[in-house]
Structure 1
Amino acid sequence: MARVSQEHLDARRRQILDGAARCFARNGFHATSMQDVLKEVNLSAGAVYRYFSGKDELIAAIVTEVLGGVREAFEEAARHTPPPMPDVLVGLVMTQVLGLGGPGKHGLTWDGEASFPRLMVQVWTETLRDGELSALLREGFGSVRDAWVKVVEGYQEAGVMRADIPAEHVARTLIAAAQGFAAQQALFGTAPAEVLQDGLRALMSVRAPG
């Protein structure tokens, strides 16, 4: 019997995650059944359950992967001195990692530019009733926040940002801007990442009178 390669196993897992993400983004978690996922990925139940025990495990895997991709992007930026300016950095992350211009850097492919924002809002809602997912999201947010704090500290050390404001406060504000923009995409329609970049650039240019 031929041995299945790791490359094949990884590709099959990728296929299942991508299909599940598209289903969840279109119909929501509760309206999507495992049968819907099986149909989307055109695989048997045995093939899918070999990788994931059910919907909850699929959701957790998708959330973990996306948050990991976001964290990696900011950690990479923190290695530069100074890091890219906030408007540039947030735009890059929204485009390359979150999939607002095509497939995300983390690997998930989305069925249209609005898919990730819709999925993100659904995850937030689900965390209100699912303690395990809430803990997972909290841990992921903590890692993203820590990566952003390193970026902000890089700005401060390079002298391009005032150092008397706690880096965590700035990090939380920038994360909120990215999350809010993604939520607007889900609720009011898509817009290019340049819209957020332009807004941040304008805010960065504000100076006190006199």
Structure 2
Amino acid sequence: MDGVPRVPESHLAARRDQILDAATARFAANGFQATGMADVIAASGLSAGAVYRYFRSKDELIAAIVERVVGAAAARFEQLLEDDAAPDPAEAVAAAVEMVAELTTRGPVDLSRVAVQAWGEALRNPGVHAVVDPAYRTMRGYFVEIARRGQAAGRFPADADPLHLGATMMSSVFGFVLQRLLLGDVDPAAYAAALRVTWAGAPSTTG
């Protein structure tokens, strides 16, 4: 085997991405349950053997797609808290909506369609739940930290529960995703502007 040239890692990564791109497009268009491995194989342009080399089952492929989509969003939420400032809650929620809108729609596939499907898939698929749970807890943790910093700055009552303050802020973002997909008449910029008005009412004890 020493004389057999090794396949470069970059080639392996490119092939894996090729499969994930094809699967993402199929899942976004037809859903997890209506898409089979044969559909992904056809869309990828690779042989069945090549695809199964990377993903032994559709469940593995779904988990990888969810990790890719939801994990990317979670990482961006963490970046929003890199400094030690206490951002205004209204601006923090609006910025999160704008970030999600940009992240999920900047490519050829609307990734929010996959993210929403992941919510339902997580209820029946333990592998997907294992991916979704920590990612969404990371996202909620961003808002919980915004709430804590807001309390320290006097923007929220001191006796309010940061966990549930954060949960309601996160719900505003998820509500945007659902309404944009289901109703189709929710503009990211207008929604973010409305959130600034809504959350600007957070009480302040400063000044």
TM-score w.r.t. the length of structure 2 is 0.82
* Structure 1 unpaired stretches of 5+: 104-109
For 2:99, the aligned partner's letter is V
CA distance in structure 1 between the partners assigned to 2:161 and 2:184 by the alignment: 34
2:92 matches 1:89: no
Mapped pair 1:130 → 2:125:
yes
Check the 8 A contact 1:87/1:198 in 2, yes or no: no
Structure 2 residue 17 is the aligned partner of structure 1 residue 7 = no
Compare CA radii of gyration and give the structure with the larger one: 2
Give how far 1:22 is off. Answer: 0.8
TM-score by length of 1: 0.81
Contact 2:93 2:173 (8 Å CA) reproduced: no
Q: C-alpha distance in 2, partners of 1:5/1:158?
A: 52
Over 3 Å counting, the alpha-carbon distance change for 1:19 and 1:207 in structure 2 is closer
Match of 1:17 in 2: 20
Alignment of 1:1-210 (within 5 A): 1-80=4-83, 81-83=85-87, 85-97=91-103, 99-100=104-105, 102-103=106-107, 110-111=108-109, 115-189=110-184, 191-206=186-201
In the alignment, structure 2 segments of 5+ residues that lack a partner are: none
1:77–1:151: 8 Å Cα contact kept in structure 2?
no
CA distances 1:85-115 after superposition (whole Å, capped 9, x unpaired): 2244213321333x13x13xxxxxx42xxx3
**1:162 CA drift (Å):** 4.3
CA offset at residue 23 of structure 1? 0.3
CA RMSD after TM alignment: 2.4
TM-aligned CA deviation for residue 160 of structure 1: 4.5
Rounded to whole Å, the distance in 1 between the matches of 2:155 and 2:8 is: 49
Identity across matched positions, percent: 36
Shift of 1:57: 0.8
Deviations 1:159-202 (A, max 9, x none): 44444322211211121111111111221226432132012111
Give the C-alpha shift of residue 69 in structure 1: 1.8
Structure 1 segments of 4+ aligned residues over 6 angstroms from their partners: none
